[in-house]
Chains A and B, each alone.
Chain A
Amino acid sequence: MSVQATSVVPVQAPEAGSRNGSLARQRNAVAGYAFLAPFLLFYGVFLLYPFALGLWMSLHDWEIVGDYREYIGFLNYVELWDDPYFWDALKRTLQFAAMTAPAATLLGLVLALALQKPLRIYAALRAVFFASNIFSVTVVTLVWAMVLNPDRGLIANGLRAVGLQPIAFLADKDWAMPALMVTSLWWTAGLPMALFLAGLQQIPPEVYEAARLDKASRWAVLRHITLPALARTTLLVVVLQTVMHLQVFGQPLLMTRGGPANSTRPLVQLIYETSFRDWRSGYASAVSTVLFVLMFGVALLQFRLSRQEGE
């Protein structure tokens, strides 16, 4: 029996073979954009448009409430150049990222190397170190503000127990920044660890077996096999961590409010306060643009480096 007896198409001229092609192409175009439409709608409205709007706003004196908006060209950027708060915040942000990112990378690498075995105990330990990563920034800051509290904090208790004076970490100009870094490390170190573990898994076991036959010492294996194999992962981790820590916001906002004496206020907090406390959205957008350029630069650097390595 013939299934398609009902759907016989009239025979076309033989050279019409390509009609199928253009028809299929049309159908693909419709289907493709139909599948994409829902996402593209959100992407356009909530990412592309606000991104462009942000650039536009940065060229205006634009107040968050009311309708006051005046085109002022690059005046916001000029003002930025002369704004000590901006330079301060930029410096803090760079400082924070430049110290936290390498530290997190190193910590992640050490943890991954120590915990890479497939045994249960190692799996449990990996879970512990990763667990702090799943808390929200508000939980983390709450916990650490308490831990670092000079009167009743965990560390203060410990210091007192051995007869030392407790330190007001978050209220001390010299201690506040390191305290925020430790908090951030505790919060995020599981991430580089996971990335390094994934990188370690991709090293073929035969290489290690060959090294064992070659009587390579543990140190030699680490130095000549493991670390070189992790080069790409390391680059990725450093970039991701840098980009991530350039965006630091919740920790200073909730733990130090940027203080003491603005010594921990990063760029994002500056954006937040300029826009939502001082109502100067145009100026805040200019700061946002600077942050974007900064992060874009880091990512671009990574792209260049990984390309070079690929060649």
Chain B
Amino acid sequence: MNRTLTDRLILALVVAAAFVWMMPMLWVLTLSLKPNEELVRSTNGIIPWPRTLEHFATLLRVSLTPRWLLNSVVVAVGMTAATLLLSSLAGYAFARIDFPGRRAVFLLVMAGLMVPEQAILVPLHAMFADWELHNTYFSLIAPRLAGPMGVFLMTQFFKAVPRELEEAAELDNAGRFKIFWSVMLPLSRPALTTLGIFTFLFAWNDFLWPVVTATQPEMYTLSVGLGSLQGNFAMSEGLGFLMASAVFASAPMLLLYVVFQRYIVQGIAITGGK
């Protein structure tokens, strides 16, 4: 009885903490649904009444937000697809093909985990300036395909697949690529899902590099665009609009999170959040 009492006490505390934790988001959601006249008077309360969708309508009608949404989708989808392909190909090679120099190349690639994005930010900018490729989807996506985390993940995954499976396929007259494509890839669906969601999330929220390479508002991603709004809008006049933008930008991620929560948490646990 002592145990359950303590348990209940802890639970009550955590529930209260969770409520406080959620407060900022709930409040912002409320603000985004309040009409401007009401906002001028007060920003109190977390129950949106009276409520309105006018800010969201403005957002879609007059701002660049829809364009930024499109950019974010293109960048996130492109980066995810390319990462999955590159990582699984390379991971398979490291895990299962006994080629000369494997150890050395693997170490060289894993050393890349030690290089933070800030260390290559300036030279990357110089490179893209040289090529005159800033403000393109390519510049938003390509540098992010060099990160070795996906390769590491897929290598670990493929290493854990029983070798007999590949041998059975070899006896079944399947060649290297056939084994990879028809046996190993379908098997790695859980790993690919985790890596995919994780990459998507990262791409969606990416800030430092996009803010450097995307200087034309038409090429902003939602994340960068939202940052630019913060500077341009005085808090008083565009408050509802600003809050609606925040809600709009995070809604897809929240949805993804609700659907794929298991994979996201798992992915974070595996990669340590990088």
Contacts and interface: CB of A to CB of B under 8 A. Distances in A.
Contacts of B236: 151-152
A17 to B, nearest CB: 19
Interface stretch (A83-91, A94-102, A126-134, A203-211): A126-134
A35 B97 contact: yes
Given A191-B268, A296-B114, A132 B25 contact: yes
Contacts of A131: 25, 254, 257
B10 interface: yes
Given A139-B249, A145-B230, A147-B27, A45 B122 contact: no
A74 interface: no
B226 A285 contact: no
Interface string A254-274: 100000000000011001100
Interface centre among A47, A54, A284 (most CB of B within 10 A): A47
B83 to A, nearest CB: 9
A225 interface: no
Interface stretch (A8-16, A24-32, A173-181): A24-32
Contacts of A254: 227, 230
Contact of B250 (A32, A42, A53, A139): A139
Contacts of B127: 49-50, 53
Contacts of B274: 240
B125 A28 contact: no
Given A128-B21, A134-B201, A271-B118, A46 B143 contact: yes
Contact of B6 (A186, A218, A253): A218
Nearest to B39: A152
Nearest to A46: B146
Given A42-B142, A46-B146, A276-B212, A136 B119 contact: no
Given A157-B44, A195-B268, A250-B208, A134 B142 contact: no
Contact of B269 (A33, A198, A244, A299): A198
Contacts, number: 267
A257 to B, nearest CB: 9
Interface stretch (B47-55, B57-65, B85-93, B161-169): B85-93
Contact of A154 (B27, B98, B227): B27
Contact of B207 (A38, A137, A147, A276): A137
B139 to A, nearest CB: 10
A141 B250 CA distance: 13
A177 to B, nearest CB: 19
Contact of B122 (A54, A139, A295): A54
B17 to A, nearest CB: 8
Given A39-B87, A46-B143, A144 B24 contact: yes
A33 B99 contact: yes
Contacts of B22: 128
Interface centre among A130, A134, A149 (most CB of B within 10 A): A134
B196 interface: no
A71 interface: no
Contacts of A46: 120, 124, 142-143, 145-146
A51 B126 CA distance: 12
A125 B99 contact: no
Contacts of A51: 115, 119-120, 123
A35 B180 contact: yes
Interface of B: 3, 6, 10-11, 13-15, 18, 21-25, 27-28, 31, 43-44, 85-87, 89-90, 92-94, 97-100, 102, 105, 109, 112, 114-127, 129, 142-143, 145-148, 151, 176, 180, 201, 204-208, 212, 222-224, 226-227, 229-230, 235-236, 239, 242-243, 245-246, 249-250, 253-254, 256-257, 261, 264-265, 268-269, 272-274
Given A35-B89, A46-B145, 15 more contacts: A25-B100, A28-B99, A46-B142, A50-B127, A54-B120, A115-B14, A125-B18, A128-B22, A135-B253, A141-B227, A141-B230, A154-B24, A190-B268, A247-B116, A249-B207
Interface of A: 25, 28-29, 31-33, 35-36, 38-40, 42-43, 45-51, 53-54, 57, 62, 64-65, 111, 114-115, 121, 125-139, 141-147, 149, 151-154, 157, 186, 188, 190-191, 194-195, 197-198, 218, 236, 240, 243-244, 247, 249-250, 253-254, 267-268, 271-272, 275-276, 281, 284-285, 288-289, 291-292, 295-296, 299
